[in-house]
Structure 1
């Protein structure tokens, strides 16, 4: 009971409408947040370190904050993290030989998919054209086979009969 009463008294001690600042230097926190959105969480891999609650992401945010507090520029902090973790830590890695597949991969997949689709459509047109070249007798035979009116073995020439 005493604990509940004491904590309730602390809540009501603050003036309504006033908020105590969470951080001492809001400009620094804005820079940390901006950089945190540009850096990938190495654990989650699909979240920035600003969005992730993984212990490594928290450590990286603290490291960014400490380096910015010590007077390093944003570029210096990014260079340090890239040197330590590689280009993968950046959401937008630079275009170079080691990241060429990362940048060109989606385009290569798109071109490959379009090529496969064009080839498939061409084959389908060729098959349709071949079906149009059937004689009337062949079409009648196919209809009869599909309808089940004619036994299949009766229309197939045997190995001994010469084909015409």
Structure 2
């Protein structure tokens, strides 16, 4: 067993884990953060996407010990109390989900995408960036619309703050 410490959604956590424990298992089973989903266990679907030190990673192929000392953000850490993150709000407003299984990973991918590209996101870029995230219910059209709307809103908020 290895003792690891990290900050998850702004809160410090410490736990002993087996060296082979995946980050997704640690989040779901040890911390009870079940918003991060296990879809394929092979890093193909993106349902397990979280941010580690601000970078999107697939937690089904990342060991928990690799996140020792890191700051981890899950879907549960995006909202500010009852106030949804702009990407979460855009997914709701633009119907960017159906069954909801892929939604946490899609939203985490979108947040990462917007952080890296800002307002320069167009449909082709969004679709290319989502290639590592699989949705079995939608045709991606509303997901793309939601990401574009969130990027526009976040860019507007950034400009208004300047």
Select the structure with the greater relative contact order (CA < 8 A; seq sep ≥ 6): 2
Between structures 1 and 2, the one with greater helix share: 1
Same fold (TM over 0.5): no
Q: Which has the larger strand fraction? A: 2
- TM-score calculated relative to the size of structure 1: 0.25
The TM-score, its normalising length taken from structure 2, stands at 0.25
Q: Which has the larger radius of gyration?
A: 1
